[in-house]
Structures are given as C-alpha cells and as structure tokens.
C-alpha cells in the first residue's frame, strides 16, 4: 500500500469514527452546550428570562445539570446563597467539577491582578510606590489583607455538584428544602427512561422539596421531539409506547394534581430560532 492509499484509508476510518453517533440514553451528552447554545449567543439565552429574585440569596437545585455550565452561570449572575447541580452521569459530574475549577482559577487570577492594581494605586496615592522600607512593606501587607478579607463569597462555597439519579435514588437531608428548582430539558429523558410513573415521581418530589412559595423553572421538551430518541434503549422504546401523560398536559398535572398554585410562561413572547427559544420555559409557584 503506498502513502496515498494509507492516508485515504486513515481518513476513511476517521470519518467513520466521527460519524459514530454518541449514545446518550439519559440526554447525558458531552459538549451539550456546544450545539445547544450556538455561536451567535454570548450567554445561554435562557438566563435572560430567569428572575433575579428567584436566586439571589436563595438555596437552589439544578436537576440534570450536565457539565454544570448553566448551574455556574446562574450562581455567578444571580448570586445564589447555594446551588447544587445533580446529574445521573458521573462523567458529566466530573466535567462539572472540572468547569468549576477552571472558572475559579480564572476568577482568582483576575482578582489577584485587580488587588495588585488597587494596592499599587493606594501606594502611589500615599507616596509609597517603589519605597522599600520595612514600614512601607508592612502598610502594603495591611492593605492587601484588607482587600482579601472584603472579597465576595467564593464561588466554590456556593456551587456544588453530586452524581445522583433524582427519580430513583436521591434522598436529600430530611429537613432540606429549596427556594428554586431548575429542571431544564430533562423531562423527556426521565419520561423515556422511567415512564409516566417516573415523571410523576419527579414532579411530586420537586414539590415536596420546595419551600412554600418556591419556584420550579421547567423547560419541558415537546412530544414531537421524543420520537427521535425513543430507540436509545429497549427500556425507552417500551416506555415510549406506554406514555399517556403527554407534555401538553404537564401544566394541568402540576397545577391540578401536584398542587402548584400558579404558572407563568417566561418565553411566550420569545419563540423562534433567532431568539434561541424553541420550547417554552415555565415558572410554577408552590
Ligand atoms: C439534555 S441534558 C440538559 C442539561 C441542562 N439541564 C440544560 O438544559 O442545559 C439532560 C441532563 O439530564 C440528566 N439526567 C437525566 N435523567 C436524570 C436523572 N434521573 N437524575 C439526574 N439527572 C438526569 C442527563 O444526564 C443530562 O445531563
């Protein structure tokens, strides 16, 4: 075989490799945000419709957090008291920890630079810059200590991730409750894997975990999108054909059966490919 033939064979093998479809029976895609968000948006457009008061100083839970990017973005943008991301796939949870560490490193490098600039500015104002006496070093240390003690709550104290199956096995601490729970693009996967029973378990468990007045932010996938994923496993295929609680009824189920008091459609005026919203985002209040 000459070099050209070898190269062609290798490139054919690469193409086949690239074509091999990722198997993600729980919607546990790697690089989910790569194809979800697209190049034209600088931040996940869903962040724009969320209300600050649901998150600021609040305890929050993100069910099906995937690689944690939206969990971290919410913590940063809205200053949660705490936010826990849980996902069934240990690899996605590892990605989430990795993303958190990367963002923390970037932030601490940024803060260090800012602090150094501030210290230099104060030194300059006090005529201390370039002065090497012991007393000026002491003053610099004092200023530096002041800056580091008044820094905001660290992101690592706010955001955490856990590998859990929310429907089947996750048992939070008995007295634990949340002000806000996110369930974004997860219902289809729970529905396909655990059927109508799993879906109802999800909704009831969320309701129980919320404080009175708490908010469920729900982004359900439409029934039309179930068909293309129904064959990811034998179980999903079997459940698909048994489903009777179609996504069109979710609102009714959550209000009339589960017990939520009211619902707001956050995206009613925003649908269309240009806005990045091709499915509704609903906020239910307990
Ligand atoms: C399509 S992704 C959505 C990610 C993220 N919520 C978003 O919208 O940006 C669905 C995620 O739900 C997770 N998931 C599915 N079933 C789950 C379960 N029973 N418990 C916890 N996570 C689950 C998957 O592993 C996957 O990462």
Q: What per-residue confidence (pLDDT) applies to 148?
A: 44
Q: Please, is 282 exposed, middle or buried when counting C-beta atoms within 10 Å of its C-beta (0-12, 13-18, 19+)?
A: buried
Residue with structure tokens 């499915």? 279
Please name the residue whose Cα sits nearest to atom 1 of ligand 1.
27
List the domain boundaries for the chain: 34-104+153-285
C-alpha of residue 90 to centroid of ligand 1, in Å: 11
C-alpha of residue 221 to centroid of ligand 1, in Å: 12
Q: Which ligand 1 atom sits nearest the alpha carbon of residue 170?
A: 20
Using a CB cutoff of 8 Å and minimum separation of 24, what contacts does 39-43 make? 41/276, 43/73
CA 61, 63, 66, 70 dihedral sign is: negative
C-alpha of residue 205 to centroid of ligand 1, in Å: 16
Q: What are the angstrom distances between the C-alpha of 168 and each of 23, 106, 143?
A: 21, 36, 52
Q: What per-residue confidence (pLDDT) applies to 147?
A: 41
Q: What are the angstrom distances between the C-alpha of 170 and each of 38, 48, 87?
A: 32, 30, 10
C-alpha of residue 87 to centroid of ligand 1, in Å: 6
E strand intervals along 74-149: 82-87
Please name the residue whose Cα sits nearest to atom 24 of ligand 1.
28
Please name the residue whose Cα sits nearest to atom 12 of ligand 1.
64
Task: Please state the pTM of the whole predicted model.
Answer: 0.82
C-alpha of residue 65 to centroid of ligand 1, in Å: 6
Q: Strand 282-285 relative to strand 262-265: parallel, antiparallel, unpaired?
A: antiparallel
Domain 34-104+153-285 has CATH 3.40.47.10: no
Helix (H) or strand (E) holding 214: strand 210-219
> What is the DSSP secondary structure assignment for residue 266, as one 8-state letter?
T
pLDDT in tens, the chain (286 residues): 555 565 555 555 555 555 567 789 999 999 887 655 555 557 888 999 999 999 999 999 999 999 999 999 999 999 999 999 999 999 999 999 999 999 999 888 877 665 666 556 656 655 655 544 444 455 444 444 444 443 467 899 999 999 999 999 888 888 899 999 999 999 999 999 999 999 999 999 999 999 999 999 999 999 999 999 999 999 999 999 999 999 999 999 999 999 999 999 999 877 655 555 678 999 999 9
The residues lining ligand 1, judged by C-beta closer than 6 Å to any ligand atom, are 26-28, 32, 63-66, 70, 86-89, 92, 164-167, 184-186, 189-190
Closest to 186 measured CA to CA, from 163, 216, 220, 210? 220
Question: Angle 234-242/187-209 helices, nearest 10 degrees?
Answer: 70
């Amino acid at each position: 075989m000459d070099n050209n033939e070898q190269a062609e064979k290798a490139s054919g093998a690469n193409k086949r490799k690239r074509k091999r479809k990722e198997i993600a029976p729980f919607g546990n895609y790697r690089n989910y945000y790569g194809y979800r968000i697209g190049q034209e948006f600088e931040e996940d457009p869903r962040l724009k419709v969320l209300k600050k008061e649901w998150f600021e100083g609040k305890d929050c839970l993100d069910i099906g957090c995937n690689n944690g990017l939206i969990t971290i973005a919410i913590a940063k943008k809205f200053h949660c008291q705490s936010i826990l991301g849980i996902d069934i796939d240990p690899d996605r949870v590892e990605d989430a920890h990795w993303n958190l560490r990367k963002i923390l490193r970037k932030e601490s490098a940024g803060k260090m630079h800012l602090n150094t600039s501030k210290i230099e500015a104060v030194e300059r104002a006090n005529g201390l810059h370039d002065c090497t006496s012991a007393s000026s070093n002491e003053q610099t240390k004092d200023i530096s200590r002041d800056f580091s003690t008044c820094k905001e709550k660290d992101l690592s104290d706010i955001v955490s991730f856990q590998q859990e199956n929310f429907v089947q096995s996750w048992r939070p601490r008995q007295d634990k409750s949340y002000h806000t729970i996110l369930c974004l693009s997860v219902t289809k996967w729970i529905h396909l894997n655990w059927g109508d029973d799993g879906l109802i378990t999800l909704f009831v468990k969320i309701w129980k975990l919320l404080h009175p007045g708490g908010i469920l932010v729900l982004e359900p996938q439409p029934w039309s999108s179930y068909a293309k994923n129904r064959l990811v496993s034998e179980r999903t295929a079997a459940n698909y054909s048994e489903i009777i609680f179609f996504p069109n009824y979710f609102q009714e189920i959550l209000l009339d059966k589960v017990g939520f008091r009211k619902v707001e459609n956050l995206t009613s005026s925003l649908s269309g490919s240009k806005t990045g919203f091709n499915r509704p985002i609903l906020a239910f209040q307990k």
